[in-house]
Amino acid sequence: MAVQINDAYIELLNQGVSREIQVSLQYLLQHCKMEKILRKVRAENILLDKTTYETIAKDLKDFGIQEMKHAAKIIERIYFLGGKATTKGAKVNVGEGLKDFAKNDFKAEEEALILYRKVIEEARKIGDMETYDDFIKIYSDEEKHLFRFQELLTIDDKEPPEIEPESKHFRAVFTDDYLALLNKGVAGEISAIIQYTNQHEKANWLTLRKLETPLEVIEDKNKAKVVSELLKKVFMVEMQHLEMIAERIYRVKGEAVAVPDPLPQVGENADDFLKLDHKAEDDAIMLYRGIVAEALKRDDTVTRRLFEKIIDDEESHYWGFDDFF
Residues at the interface with Fe ion (CB under 5 A): 20, 67, 70, 142, 145, 189, 238, 241, 281, 314, 317
> Closest separation between CB of residue 105 and Fe ion, Å?
8
* 103/221 with CB nearer Fe ion: 103
> Closest separation between CB of residue 90 and Fe ion, Å?
12
> Closest separation between CB of residue 69 and Fe ion, Å?
8
> Closest separation between CB of residue 265 and Fe ion, Å?
15
* 42/289 with CB nearer Fe ion: 289
Handedness of CA 290, 291, 294, 299 (dihedral sign): negative
* 17/41 with CB nearer Fe ion: 17
* 134/238 with CB nearer Fe ion: 238
Distance of CA 306 to CAs 30, 111, 186, 236, 311, Å?
A: 20, 37, 13, 17, 9
- Which residues, other chains included, contact 29 with Cβ-Cβ below 8 Å and sequence gap of 6+? 92, 94, 246, 256, 258
> Closest separation between CB of residue 63 and Fe ion, Å?
6
* 41/187 with CB nearer Fe ion: 187
The Cα–Cα gap between 18 and 9 comes to 14
> Closest separation between CB of residue 263 and Fe ion, Å?
17
* 170/319 with CB nearer Fe ion: 319
The Cα–Cα gap between 119 and 110 comes to 14
* 145/202 with CB nearer Fe ion: 145
The Cα–Cα gap between 159 and 77 comes to 43
> Closest separation between CB of residue 250 and Fe ion, Å?
18
> Closest separation between CB of residue 277 and Fe ion, Å?
8
The Cα–Cα gap between 96 and 29 comes to 11
* 300/314 with CB nearer Fe ion: 314
Angle at 203 between CA 198 and CA 205, to 5 degrees: 100
